[in-house]
Amino acid sequence: MIKTRILDRIVTDKCVLVFADEGFVIDEISNASNLEEIQRLVGVELQVSKDCRFYGDPLIGNHQQGVVPKIYKSGLSAVSDIADNSVVMIDGFAGPGGMAHYLLMSLRDQGSKNLTIISNTAGIARVVNFGTPPGKLVIDHSILIDNHQVGKAIASYPVSPSASNPSSFELAYRAGEVDLELVPQGTLAERLRAGGAGVKYFYTPTGAGTLIAEGKDTRTLDGKEYIQEAGLLADYCIIRGYKADRFGNVVYKGTSRNFNAVMAPAAKTSIVEVDEIVEDDALDPELIVTPGLFVDRIVVRPEDFSPYE
């Protein structure tokens, strides 16, 4: 029997055409082309998909031609479509460094509920208080938990280092308001990397013979016990960069890189908060950590914004 494959798209160096009910429509336009040139080369007038991606000049934001810019005017506009029940990766390590505070505030104001958050911690920067000015509280995951927006956390270190000073997540967990999937830190990093690389499962000796292994496939390899772990994917990630260009190429500053680089490829929509958007040739290609391929939205943190409240 001859199997028939149905053609649904044509990829060229100028654009991507997708077959729809009304015929072929333009779904993506390369940064080296434009709509007028494509129409001229094809010889017929083509419709433009409402979700068309265009990387010619996202600063202009020509929505009339189906252009989807990467640069957003505010944090709230960048997170506006994060729906209830979404899976959201959130960067950060333990202290406030490398955390997208402005986007976290925007997500709190946006108000989506029953989120599953994937992060190294579930909001301990607020109780650790590294570098926090007296009388202030650092903005971290806790603001989402206190606002009853989180239904589950997948994290490595969700608890406070001090039993007498519990985090917001701990209090919510004890009250039965949130669920927790505890993941060893190295395993978390690899699950993120695997998800972004398209690796469905992998095996690790970490956690074998412990509660972490319950319900997971176990194998003995070279005389050592391994457990199966799954790559992690998310609907969104909100991460913190230092500088970006208009195409979404991102550089980080110091240890604030943390989990940002492995989260961006593992999310369907990656939203990055930066201090500055620079000219196209301002970033040294050798220093770019996250290529624009993995960044969908860019937001500049306002100069007067404080990561403390």
Domains (range + CATH), the chain: 9-69 (no CATH), 75-199+233-300 (3.40.1080.10)
- The pLDDT tens digits for 252-293 are 998 888 999 999 999 999 999 999 999 988 999 999 999 999
| φ, ψ for residue 6, nearest 5 deg | -90, 125
Mean pLDDT throughout 52-64? 48
Q: Which of 95-99, 173-177, 276-280 has the lowest mean pLDDT?
A: 95-99
Q: Tokens in use for 220?
A: 């003995």
Please tell me the predicted confidence (pLDDT) of residue 7. Answer: 61
Q: Phi and psi dihedrals of 249, rounded to 5?
A: -70, 130
Whose tokens are 């190429």? That residue is 249
pLDDT mean over 114-141: 88
Instruction: Tell the residue number behind the tokens 């603001």, with chain if given.
Output: 143
Judged by DSSP in three states, 207 sits in: coil
pLDDT at 22 over 90: no
6 secondary structure, DSSP code: P
Q: Is 265 helix (H, G, I), strand (E, B) or coil?
A: helix
Q: What is the mean pLDDT of residues 164-176?
A: 94
Please say if the pLDDT value at position 30 is more than 80. no
Q: Are 17 and 46 in contact (CB under 8 A)?
A: yes
Q: What is the mean pLDDT of residues 242-251?
A: 95
For the segment 188-200, the average pLDDT, to the nearest whole number, is: 97
First CA to last CA distance, the chain: 67
Tell me what pLDDT residue 198 has: 96
State pLDDT tens for residues 130-163.
778 888 888 999 999 999 999 999 999 988 888 8
| Mean pLDDT on 216-229 | 97
> 88-105: string of b/e by CB count within 10 Å (b at 16+)?
bbbbbbebbbbbbbbbbb
Q: What is the rounded CA–CA span in Å between residue 292 and residue 287?
A: 13
How much is the average pLDDT of 98-106?
94
Query: How would residue 47 be classed by pLDDT, with cut points 50, 70 and 90?
Result: confident
Q: Do the bridges between strand 250-251 and strand 243-245 make them parallel or antiparallel, or are there none, so unpaired? A: antiparallel
At 43 the pLDDT is 79
